[in-house]
Amino acid sequence: MYRYAKPTSLNDALALLGNGDWKLLAGGTDFYPALGSKPLRQDVLDINGLDDLRGISTTDSHMLIGARTTWTDILRAELPSSFDGLKQAAREVGSVQIQYCGTVAGNLCNASPAADGVPPLLTLDAEVELRSMRGCRALPLSDFILGNRKTALAQDELLTGIRIPKPATNGASAFLKLGARRYLVISIAMVAARLVADEGKIRSAAVAVGSCSAVAQRLSTLEHALIGLPLGPALAEAAMAAKLDELSPIDDVRGSADYRREAARELVARTLLAACDGANGHGNASSGGKPVDVRKTAA
């Protein structure tokens, strides 16, 4: 006999988690496909009764995306332009039905190398909030996802929210994804970039690439090289010249390692150009995450 529980308070949820081997269920859009044709053979803790975990709030030090916040919630929220990349990723996750059920937190906990939410959240310096009956800890997202389908989540822990530190809410951002077709597709490569500029020159840059390593990576060498460059084509030129040593793409059915590396380079260049809009100044004039026309080539 396997148990199913749908607690309505966080304390009850954590008490259950502290006492048993539960599988957490949020939107179910990774949970159910992962079962394949096998029957469910684990106790299921459904977090959909935890109303307090849904939505986006602000504290003195950070913005908090609750664990039950869906991709549709992200798209509908009023957010600064530094979140445009996350919104553009939200539009690319599956279909509108998947975006309506699937949560941002579920995307992180599933820890797929092709999870579209990871690169934009890395560029926002995101941290995850992990709670158990033992207490609460916060981990940088880069320390939370340890490998393909591997996270630092302990058996008795629940990811309750994603924190974006206030300083990382500055600037403007963009996200681009390459798949074998335009829509409803797993990424061959995807890139997020967030730029902060002063008087037309880059003050800080955050660039992350997914699907080209077991865990999405920030490109710290390129980020440093971008500082001081003028907004515009110089950024794309720096990207085309970058070595991208942080990436370790593999050959698979979706593309060869060489193709992925070249595609990533081109996507980085285009994403930087797309993020230039609004990066000068405070970057609060959000485009609402509407897709940017990047058909102009980088080179």
Residues that bind ligand FAD (CB under 6 A): 23-31, 33, 47, 67, 92-94, 98, 101-103, 105-107, 109-110, 115-116, 153, 158-159
CB of residue 163 to ligand FAD, shortest distance in Å: 14
**Angstrom distance (rounded) from CA 216 to CA 110:** 13
**Angstrom distance (rounded) from CA 163 to CA 161:** 6
- The CA R_g of the chain, rounded to the nearest whole Å, is 19
Nearer to ligand FAD, 105 or 268 (CB): 105
Determine phi and psi for 3, rounding to 5 degrees.
Answer: -100, 150
CB of residue 216 to ligand FAD, shortest distance in Å: 11
Residue of minimal Cβ distance to ligand FAD: 106
CA distances from 57 to 78, 94, 288 (A): 11, 26, 18
CB of residue 117 to ligand FAD, shortest distance in Å: 6
- Residue 15 per-residue DSSP state: H
CB of residue 193 to ligand FAD, shortest distance in Å: 18
Nearer to ligand FAD, 17 or 229 (CB): 17
CB of residue 4 to ligand FAD, shortest distance in Å: 14
Instruction: Give the pairing type, strands 56-58 and 62-66.
Output: antiparallel
Nearer to ligand FAD, 32 or 227 (CB): 32
Assigned token pair, 105: 């937190």
**Angstrom distance (rounded) from CA 222 to CA 194:** 13
Nearer to ligand FAD, 14 or 109 (CB): 109
- Residue 27 per-residue DSSP state: S
Nearer to ligand FAD, 28 or 55 (CB): 28
Of the chain, the end-to-end C-alpha distance in Å amounts to 61
Nearer to ligand FAD, 182 or 295 (CB): 182
CB of residue 199 to ligand FAD, shortest distance in Å: 37
CB of residue 250 to ligand FAD, shortest distance in Å: 18
Residues ≥6 apart with Cβ < 8 Å to 212: 189, 247, 248, 249, 260, 261, 264
DSSP string, 164-194: EEGGGG-SEEEEEEE-SSSSS---SEEEEEE
Nearer to ligand FAD, 23 or 203 (CB): 23
